[in-house]
Copies of this chain bind each other. A is one copy, B any other.
């Protein structure tokens, strides 16, 4: 009801103390005698006092907030990363705001600008374009930034990522081990660093196994979604059977799930007619009707580490940028038995 909320001044007046004392109750309660502290606190409750964070921040200079600008809030991989960040933020008594750039550079830029204006303590980001110059500018102006799940050529950021070349290698080695000699690699666009790294690992493993390059078939997709996975499945099905791969490595689980669905739906058995390996090991991978073999990334750990780095950068004056790389792990399930 109250049209304007009470300020410290109102509280001070009502409690019969000075402004400074009210502020002390808020920020250094031990410096205030128990009696007055209690009185002030009671008045605050009565008046429904709510501290004005803008004013606090303006004066104190620092905020108690981290932000994670996520690439796609609809992809469980990123929400799991966010959960990891959240854990770490909780431990440090910071709040975490999530922003969704939904794969759009303009939205990402808008979020970055606002976060910088808010003077957040640090920004974690999985950028649409890892080389966007906007990131550099924000960082240079003093907001700590950690890039999550993308690597950066320049070393002027902390970076937390997973070894995608190794991940691609693991997937293809697994398929080769299972006896597959014609394999599809499904994913795209290759402008995404992730995708090209996983491709590179796949090719390296294939070559190491002494198999001819033309039997590793690239099936390019426009995005990494379930729908694109289905469409890739149709393209695979349309190939003449002697050239058709017996297995597919999808560069993420959404693609793999789409492919799986299309395959089963059109009567091919998995893994009998087509073995499938996904990437990310999202919860729905294990829960698919044919549980999906997938390359697991330590996504929770990814988030936790990124948060730790951004905290360090924001507190430690002579902080050195680090590039942390985690190791992926293949989880074999029924889709490649």
Contacts and interface: CB of A to CB of B under 8 A. Distances in A.
A309 B289 CA distance: 40
A239 interface: no
Interface in A222-270: 226, 230, 257-258, 260-261, 264-265
Nearest to A283: B226
A27 interface: no
Interface string A15-56: 000000000000000000000000000000000101111111
A221 interface: no
A99 interface: yes
B226 A142 contact: no
A318 to B, nearest CB: 14
B118 A53 contact: yes
A116 interface: yes
A290 to B, nearest CB: 6
A57 interface: yes
Contacts of A283: 74, 226
B86 A53 contact: no
A315 interface: no
Interface in A61-92: 63-65, 67, 73-74, 76, 79-80, 82-83, 86, 90
A276 to B, nearest CB: 11
Residue of A53, A55, A102 contacting most chain B CB atoms (<10 Å): A53
Contacts of A193: none
A298 interface: no
Interface stretch (A1-9, A161-169, A323-331): A1-9
A289 B268 CA distance: 12
A130 interface: no
B102 A99 contact: no
A53 B50 CA distance: 19
Nearest to A107: B90
Nearest to A138: B50
A74 B78 CA distance: 9
A98 B95 contact: no
A302 to B, nearest CB: 15
B97 A99 contact: yes
A110 interface: yes
A65 to B, nearest CB: 8
Contacts of A63: 54
Interface in A136-183: 137, 140-142
Interface string A111-135: 1001011110000000000000000
